[in-house]
Amino acid sequence: MKRIFRFFIKILLWSIVLSVGLVVLFKYVPVPVTPLMVIRYFEDTKATKTKWEHNWVAIDNISKHIQLAAICSEDQKFMEHNGFDIKAIEKAYEYNKQGKHIKGGSTISQQTAKNVFLWPDRSWLRKGLETYFTFLIEIFWSKERILEVYLNSIEMGNGIYGTEAAAQYWFKKSAANLSAQEAAAIIAILPNPRNYKANPASVYIQGRKQWIVKQMRFYGKFNLNSD
């Protein structure tokens, strides 16, 4: 029993060391690939694989419009919380008890932790690991870095990952040159980026886009470096 106990303790310690090391590494190094990208690639059973576009760019080359659009749509308390928005989680929990559609309460930090380090799943194991990695990135990364990784890693179309690839795919321009309307259109498709289109946008996406633009106007001064 002692040997087994020591074995599991060693695994736990090495897991902590490796996970912390990976988080520290990605504080400085661009994230080249995420588990979701790999899963999506192998999910496609077609002879010709779905395109895989992912072009990492520094946050200085990502339009302020799409930075703000992401915050306004996904996590308006991003600059205030330490990784978790308890009120949003409670609201989502109450909503999910009543409705058929599942509503998430995840912050941008939680989504980043999930996208970069974990697999898409609703199990308690994955949720526990998401909490752990969210805690780590909030300790080791700045808010600017979290948003930079988020905007470079999320799925923004079928086989389209990150803002630069999305800007080129949907609007034939770089992420640095996205207008407020274009930025909002891309962020508007995030609930289901493989089925929704940023351009041309459906009536539903147009409605979401205009709501995001309105939130961007009401947000006030936006400064990532305030932390």
List C-alpha distances in Å: 207 to 24, 113, 202, 203.
Answer: 39, 29, 9, 6
Q: Under a CB-based contact definition with an 8 Å cutoff, are residues 189 and 204 in contact?
A: no
Q: Which two tokens stand for residue 98?
A: 């009543």
pLDDT per position in the chain (227 positions), as tens? 778 888 888 999 999 999 999 999 999 999 999 999 999 888 876 655 567 899 999 999 999 999 999 999 999 999 999 998 887 676 765 665 565 555 557 899 999 999 999 988 888 899 999 999 999 999 999 999 999 999 999 999 999 999 999 999 999 999 999 999 999 999 999 989 999 999 999 999 999 999 999 999 999 888 887 54
3-state helix vs strand vs coil in the chain, percent to 5: 65, 0, 35
Q: What is the pLDDT of residue 8?
A: 86
Q: What is the pLDDT of residue 91?
A: 73
The domains located in the chain, with CATH, are 35-221 (1.10.3810.10)
Asked whether the CA dihedral 102, 103, 109, 112 is positive or negative, the reply is positive
Q: What is the pLDDT of residue 104?
A: 59
Helix (H) or strand (E) holding 161: strand 160-161
| Whole-angstrom distance, CA of residue 99 vs CA of residue 95 | 6
pTM over 0.95: no
